[in-house]
Amino acid sequence: MKTRIPNRILALAALFFLLGVSGTVMASEGASTAIDLGQILPIWSALPFVGILLSIALFPLFAPVFWHHNFGKISLVWSLIFAVPFLWAYSGAGLYSILHVYLIDYIPFIILLGGLFTVSGGIYLRGTLAGTPAVNTVMLLIGTFLASLIGTTGASMLLIRPIIRANKSRKNKMHVIIFFIFLVSNIGGSLTPLGDPPLFLGFLHGVPFFWTLNLFPLMGFASVILLALLFTIDTFLYRKEGSPKLDPQSREKLKIEGAHNFLFLGGIVGAVLLSGLWQAGEFSLFGIKMAWQDIARDLLIILFGLLSLKTTSKQIHQDNEFSWFPIKEVAILFFGIFMTIIPALAMLKAGEHGALAGLVAVVEDPWHFFWASGGLSSFLDNAPTYLTFFNLSLGRLGLTEPQAAEILRGVVQSDLGQQFILELKAVSAGAVFMGANSYIGNAPNFMVRSIAEENKIQMPSFFGYMIWSVGILIPIFILVTLVFFR
């Protein structure tokens, strides 16, 4: 059962590729530019996306056994519900959109996630690490800053297993994983373009590499509050458990095994950075413009992952309780998410000319940018959301990307420039911070949840998690708004 599901999904992907070269419905650049789908797609075309989100939210809650055995089929069904009429209605332009989202977004997304998952699975922190409130808080503090150096995905995959092992004997540990998602998987990635995809996209559009350090006051403000809340909640629950102590005879000195994988982890980060700095030209595949530097990045990531598997002992993987199920689950579910999200992203990209024009039209003040970019990034891909509001700010202020870059470097100083800086801070913080609002808000969220559940930690449902995020994060984001954007 488990092997048939991904095979069917791969077969469906292969079908789209065959259609691309069939000659009857050819997805060419001309077909993609002849119709701007974002301007003509109705709002209800996003219903399959809503459907797959509700499936992810409700099936594990009301039919967990059915979901566990059939989530791949459900993902495939929602994909077909969208894809079949979409291809029927828009033929070449529709096929181009599907091929584009898989070639440019989905495949690199899975390669990066899979590479980081594989390499981090080869790093094992051996020794006795007690999950006390102080230890948990310090580990999440380290992870928060590490996220900006190796990305939220890299930091999450590196630290989630040590956090789980440290709290293995604790009765109450779900809250630690939730705060881990808040901090390490999201907010911590706001200080460099390596931290989170939208900031890297900004870097590619002229935002100086170190400009994002200007987000430190916002990141520090939110992180300090969250770390203080974690310590308070964890201390209460720890004492309620009787403050369990480790047996002194069971203590083992901490040491890192598989440390050579840090080189591969650094190689993956370097490959991502290289793809943004090196311009090696383009080629066309099924009418989709592909960049050679992106191909090189993906091949390097695959290489580092294979080298990690080859050079890491089986014992480390066994001690890490490493399995492929979490990455398989993410790949299968996000196959459907990436398919059904196509109309939502197209309408968002169309801005004032699409079905979401009403939302775009009301975005004027910095706090509007913070909540609009953040609210959409809670459920949609935060990279195109960031770019949409980045361009909206430029258009409102009459700036070009080169002019914006000069403002951000401090070459040009004006009231207009200060307004743009404030709006860009709002867009950046919203896109990164509010990815923590739902399991699908950022790539590592779902992966962390899957690894935690694989280790017998009862995580909240989709909506259960949002009760935590709304109850804890939204008040903090309101404070961020009042302090920094009003």
**pLDDT single digits (tens) 324-366:** 888 888 889 889 988 998 888 888 777 778 887 787 778 889 9
User: Is the pTM of the predicted complex or chain greater than 0.85?
Assistant: no
Q: Does residue 18 belong to any structural domain of this protein?
A: no
State the average pLDDT over residues 175-187: 96
**Residue 20 confidence (pLDDT) above 80:** no
Q: In this predicted model, what pLDDT tens digit does every residue of 53-86 receive, in sequence order? A: 889 888 888 888 899 889 999 999 999 999 999 9
**Residue 143 confidence (pLDDT) above 90:** yes
Contact between 291 and 36 under an 8 Å Cβ cutoff? The reply is no
Q: Does residue 28 belong to any structural domain of this protein?
A: no
Contact between 316 and 122 under an 8 Å Cβ cutoff? The reply is yes
Q: How far apart are CA 441 and CA 314, in angstroms?
A: 33
Q: Does residue 265 belong to any structural domain of this protein?
A: yes
Q: Does residue 24 belong to any structural domain of this protein?
A: no
Q: How far apart are CA 288 and CA 175, in angstroms?
A: 44
Q: Does residue 425 belong to any structural domain of this protein?
A: yes
Q: In three state form, how does the secondary structure of 457-476 look?
A: CCCCCHHHHHHHHHHHHHHH
Overall domain count for the chain: 1
Q: Does residue 4 belong to any structural domain of this protein?
A: no
CA separation (Å) from 75 to 12, 60, 72?
A: 12, 14, 5
- Its domain, for residue 142, covers 119-484
Alpha-helical regions (H) of 283-341: 292-311, 314-319, 325-340
Q: In this predicted model, what pLDDT tens digit does every residue of 153-167 receive, in sequence order? A: 888 988 998 899 889
Q: In this predicted model, what pLDDT tens digit does every residue of 357-389 receive, in sequence order? A: 787 778 889 999 999 999 988 887 677 788 778
Q: Does residue 373 belong to any structural domain of this protein?
A: yes
**Residue 100 confidence (pLDDT) above 50:** yes
If we measure between CA atoms, which residue out of 424, 19, 13 comes closest to residue 205?
A: 424
**SS3 assignment, position 125:** strand
Q: How far apart are CA 6 and CA 206, in angstroms?
A: 39
Q: Does residue 451 belong to any structural domain of this protein?
A: yes
State the average pLDDT over residues 178-205: 89
Left if phi > 0, otherwise alpha if psi is -120 to 50, otherwise beta: which for 397?
alpha
